[in-house]
Amino acid sequence: MMSNNEEILSGDLRGAVLKFALPLAATGILQQLFNAADIAVIGRYVGKEAMAAVGSNTPLTALIINLFVGLSIGANVVIAKFIGMNNRDGVKKAVHTSLMIAVISGAVIAVICELLAPAILGLLSIPDDVYDMALLYFRVYIMGMPVILLYDFASAIFRSRGNTRTPLICLVTSGVVNVLLNLFFVLVLKMTVNGVALATVIANLISSALLVWFLMHEESEIRVSTDALRIDPSILKEMIRIGLPAGIQGVVFCFSNVIIQSSINKLGSDVMAGSSAAFNIEIFAYYVINSFGQACTTFTGQNYGANKPDRCREVLRVTLVQDMACAIVLPLLILLFGRPLLSIFNSEPAIIELGMVRIRFILLAEWVNVVIEIFSGYMRGFGYSLFPALTCTVCICGVRLSWIWLVFKKHKTFAVLMTCYPLSWAVTAAMMLVVYFDTKRRYLSDFFAGKNSREQSMNV
């Protein structure tokens, strides 16, 4: 059988992309399910205040994690390029630099957040009856930041070589442990939100430890050895150049989603419940669509490093077609079974109908989101991360916030508010295509004309 690298660089792309994307999508879906299990345990056995305390931390922790997930994308691209160039020394330096960034950044963030926790949570306007538990959850959860980031960066290392199955196996193992520990800490030890947070930290420790163990026993160029753990300044600079724009994009997205959620909250508890239920269903489609964008980044990065322009073109075609097919079929299936799925969360007819409003607006426009995911992933694979990040940040966030402040303010209905999603995707997709063709003309014309050497295709 062909190795992951051989499949990416010379094998059948259609099968290779599916082998990469589907386990990655499953990883995201399982993470969502395990997070839902946390909320279910705390809500059922502790109380609604504890449930609110955990939920109130979500926007804050998402802001922190998304920034460093962006940096892990930078690590993925850099390592994939070195693999494509068959530069084993570069791969070795990039792999060990990635792991050091994860642990050091996680430790620094943990210390800062522990020291400033009351001030940070004070900015979220958390009600008094929830604040103490929210602070307790945050303090315990944030202690696990080094292992949370270690899992993200170690997963990026495996993805750079085309392996998304190993991170999935580690996640399944730690996720089962997480659920069992939730029940043990809450039911047996009578802990509250600190029990759920501690279970999450231990689960992340297990998943990251497993990934590092597998890396230390790898037989390929991404093998990790403790005596090589150090930061290479030039590689760190390149990872930041590629990854930081993606991280900032994720942070700004979180901010815009907070504004949208605030607008939803103004429409009443039924709308809040219907929207929340719909989100927990539609997010599964997003994970599938996003996984093909990440496949496009990794496959493009390796073939760019290997100086294979025709293969890069094929990567774009295959990922675009497969992602578009998923974005049409999967939403139709969800819409077909939308009401039964929504009734799992709440059986009230009014709330189910409101949930269907959101599902229709979001899922029927997911095919537009494919253009954004694939073309932004394609440009990141070449190392041009700033352009798609700026496009997404300005267009998506700009359109959504403008719509809320200019239109929704005058017509406060749920349907009007949800219009901001397909509208922002349409504007962003159009601009993304403009940015892509301009980037290709200005920076990649020599590469596609066959004039670039492998050395010229790497900025490090």
Using CB atoms within 10 Å of the CB of residue 269, give its burial: 0 to 12 exposed, 13 to 18 middle, 19+ buried.
exposed
Please report whether residue 203 resides in a domain: yes
Angle at 384 between CA 380 and CA 388, to 5 degrees: 70
Quick one: 272 and 132 in the same domain?
Answer: no
The more confident residue out of 172 and 69 is 172
**Model confidence pLDDT, tens digit, residues 383-427:** 998 999 999 989 988 999 999 999 998 999 999 999 999 999 999
Q: Which residue has the tokens 């596609």?
A: 448
Contact predicate 130/51, CB 8 Å: no
Please report whether residue 51 resides in a domain: yes
Quick one: 287 and 191 in the same domain?
Answer: no
pLDDT surpasses 60 at 137: yes
Query: Looking at residue 189, what DSSP letter applies?
Result: S
Average pLDDT of the segment spanning 82-94: 92
Question: Among 383, 382, 363, 365, which Cα is nearest to 428's?
Answer: 365
Residues 6 or more apart whose Cβ sits within 8 Å of residue 60? 120, 121, 124, 138
**Model confidence pLDDT, tens digit, residues 174-223:** 989 998 998 999 889 988 888 989 999 999 999 999 999 999 999 888 99
Local confidence band at 125 (pLDDT 50, 70, 90 cut-offs): low
3-class secondary-structure state, position 458: coil
Using the 3D structure, point to which of 231, 248, 276 is the last residue of a domain.
231
pLDDT surpasses 70 at 113: yes
Please report whether residue 241 resides in a domain: no
pLDDT surpasses 80 at 261: no
Contact predicate 253/66, CB 8 Å: yes
**Model confidence pLDDT, tens digit, residues 305-353:** 999 999 999 999 999 999 999 999 999 999 999 899 888 777 788 888 9
First vs last C-alpha separation in the chain: 32
Quick one: 99 and 222 in the same domain?
Answer: yes
**Which of 1-15, 140-154, 295-309 is predicted least confidently?**
1-15
Question: Among 232, 234, 212, which Cα is nearest to 224's?
Answer: 212
3-class secondary-structure state, position 450: coil
Domains: count for the chain: 2
Quick one: 159 and 281 in the same domain?
Answer: no
Enclosing domain of residue 223: 1-231
Please report whether residue 240 resides in a domain: no
Letter for the amino acid at 193? Answer: V
Letter for the amino acid at 56? Answer: S
Contact predicate 64/105, CB 8 Å: no
Contact predicate 168/23, CB 8 Å: yes
The CB density around residue 452, as the number of other CB atoms within 10 Å, is 16
Please report whether residue 248 resides in a domain: no
Please report whether residue 249 resides in a domain: no
Radius of gyration of the chain (CA): 22
Quick one: 227 and 265 in the same domain?
Answer: no
